[in-house]
Structure 1
Amino acid sequence: MVKLRSTAALAALALASLLPPPALADDSKDPIKLTLHDWTGQLVSAHIMGEVLKKAGLNIEYVQADYLAQFAGLKTGDVHVAMEIWATTGKDALEEAVATKKVENLGETGMLAIEEWWYPLYMKEKCPGLPDWQALKKCAEQFSIPETAPKGRYVGAPATWGGFDDERVEALDLPFEVVHAGTDAALFAELESAYQRQAPVVLWVYAPHWAPIKYKGEWVEFPKYESACYTDPAWGINKEKAYDCGKPRGAIWKAAWSGLKDKWPTAHSAIKNFEFTNDEMGKLVGEIDLDGKKLDDVVAAWMKDNEPRWKKWIGG
């Protein structure tokens, strides 16, 4: 009889080890809504975090949302978690939202953001003054296509990403036309096509991403960003217009509805613990965008290979 009870106990322990750990008693059973955006790295961050929270026994829902417009939903609690707010494009929106006390900054992801005009090294031969931005004034035609000539063409990111490139062109009096790519995929298809043909191109490239790893190139060096550049027209070389500088660089933050901590304390703690590096993220994005792997498969492989790491995020 004792032996039977021992066998049953061992079987129960074995079964328990296969089950996800229970969420804390005071975690709501309502779904935590994580926002999804239109670039691969953010999808990776959100889905990895979502899968980790599922392992903690929480209910997860993914919601497609505009990058900047999502802050309205975070303030009201209609959505709950945004895994990537970039200092380059989302700093002002995040600070404004946090100031309302309806949104909380959950800290840095560990990734460092760069988003700027970028050109392949072969274009430096046609515009020798690069990476100094003033060289673009002298050789804009080298970046032109028939539709923009004699002006150069700058391929910008999807307009919903922000970035103030149209304003930057005007403030710095650059003889360029800004043509926004419709999607993240279209942006990098343009780079791939131009690079293969050694064709003229200058475009929005960001890191962490596979592009600045795969291709040899440089970011344009604009006047260094200061916050006054975006808010005070008198700052900088153009005394009448703002945005006469490059884009800010810095952290990528996690943000959440301020009610997350009380409603889902397990999630609040885990998201604060989430941490990645640029190289790690660039590799995962490359597996999806370049190698053609499915997002779910890449996330599942990462979860399998990094179990001790993500278990620490949820206190395991």
Structure 2
Amino acid sequence: MRRSGWIRAAALAGCAMLVLAGCAADITPRVAAPGPPERTECGTLTLANLPWVGYEANLAVVGYLAENRLDCTVVVKDLTAEEAWAQVAAGEVDAILENWGREALKKRYIDEERTAVEHGMTGNKGVVGWYVTPWLVEQYPGITNWKNLNDYAYLFRTPTSDGKGALLGGDPSYETNDRALIRNLKLNFTVSLTGSEEKLIEAFREAERNRQAAIGYFYAPQWFLAEVNLVHVKLPPYTPGCDSDPEKVACDYQPYDLDKIANRTFAESGNPAAEMIKNFQWTNADQNEVARYLTVDKLSRDEAAKKWLDANPDVWQDWLPVA
């Protein structure tokens, strides 16, 4: 072969190899970017119900929409917060609709076991602390400063408080720092549990009505504050980490941006109820309105939910999954 012919043949061979290489590149499988999970039917939706009426307001509205807009069969389980977290992790409950902190449970079930996930914010701002009845503040203006509480402890004595002031509490399952605060701030008080949120509210109501002294653990959002404007006692201010050791805590409660918790498999399943629950978000005023329907107006969950939903379509329409 002449040199020019050899060069021409070599060039053609090289071109052929490039073409083949290009073809090989073209037929290499491409991996698609992961998209959202495929939409499924709702089926059975199991929700926790925790022992305070603000939570029940969330449950009423979310449950009503799940049944009437997503065709879910809603199952409700009455649980404490600790029980609800354990059942979410086990897949026996799909979601908790209002969570207050619970950092130890988040560490266990979300970070370590990876069986649960944070599932969006509720939009509610949680304020926990010690509160007194309004008439007391008018009569004793200094009573809202924790440094003065021992001077007024005698006002709160009861037949069962052993000569100390009784600090009212609600449901025994509530996670509080009250006993540690009393001990570490050296206050002449003792915790006196009423047994439930309803009984705690009634104790404050009766105290204000009869001008009796009452101090206790309370929180917002709570519809009752519109009826009796309880006054927040100023404890040493909260700073991040001041409550990290439950035995040594000597500061006020952390303010909370309340969130929702879901079983990880449920959250990632494509179930339309999972998407709606994640989107669910409203204000303290919204929650208090539904809670008042439930407690004062004595409406059923469905009646209370429908009344609020009918009046607020601009709020809840954005919660529903896009078709």
- Pairwise TM-score range, normalised by the shorter structure: 0.7 to 0.9
Out of 108, 119, 135, the residue aligned to residue 106 of structure 1 is: 119
Q: Residue type matched to 2:200 in 1?
A: L
Pairs within 5 Å for 1:43-54:
43-54=56-67
Unaligned stretches of 5+ residues in structure 1: 1-23, 234-240
Aligned to 1:18: none
Aligned to 2:319: 313
Q: Residue type matched to 1:220 in 2?
A: V
In the alignment, the residues of structure 1 paired with residue 109 and residue 273 of structure 2 have an alpha-carbon distance, to the nearest angstrom, of 20
Out of 171, 195, 201, the residue aligned to residue 184 of structure 2 is: 171
SS in 2 for 1:33: strand
Q: TM-score normalized by structure 2?
A: 0.81
In the alignment, the residues of structure 1 paired with residue 245 and residue 73 of structure 2 have an alpha-carbon distance, to the nearest angstrom, of 45
Aligned to 1:32: 45
Pairs within 5 Å for 1:227-306:
227-232=240-245, 241-306=247-312
Q: Which moved more, 1:57-66 or 1:39-48?
A: 57-66
SS in 1 for 2:258: strand
Number of residue equivalences = 284
In the alignment, the residues of structure 2 paired with residue 95 and residue 299 of structure 1 have an alpha-carbon distance, to the nearest angstrom, of 33
Q: Is the Cα contact below 8 Å between 2:133 and 2:231 reproduced in 1?
A: yes
In the alignment, the residues of structure 2 paired with residue 121 and residue 305 of structure 1 have an alpha-carbon distance, to the nearest angstrom, of 32
SS in 2 for 1:161: coil
Q: Residue type matched to 1:53 in 2?
A: A
Does residue 214 of the first structure (1) align with residue 227 of the second (2)? yes
Q: Is the Cα contact below 8 Å between 1:157 and 1:187 reproduced in 2?
A: yes
Q: Which moved more, 1:301-310 or 1:210-219?
A: 301-310
Find the structure with the greater CA-based Rg.
Answer: 2
Query: How far apart are residue 248 of structure 1 and its match?
Result: 0.9
Out of 81, 88, 101, the residue aligned to residue 67 of structure 1 is: 81
Query: How far apart are residue 303 of structure 1 and its match?
Result: 2.6
| RMSD across aligned positions (CA) | 2.1
Q: Is the Cα contact below 8 Å between 1:106 and 1:253 reproduced in 2?
A: yes
Query: How far apart are residue 156 of structure 1 and its match?
Result: 0.8
Query: How far apart are residue 228 of structure 1 and its match?
Result: 2.6
Aligned to 1:158: 171
Q: TM-score normalized by structure 1?
A: 0.83
SS in 2 for 1:292: coil
Query: How far apart are residue 310 of structure 1 and its match?
Result: 2.5
Q: Is the Cα contact below 8 Å between 2:132 and 2:230 reproduced in 1?
A: yes
Unaligned stretches of 5+ residues in structure 2: 1-36
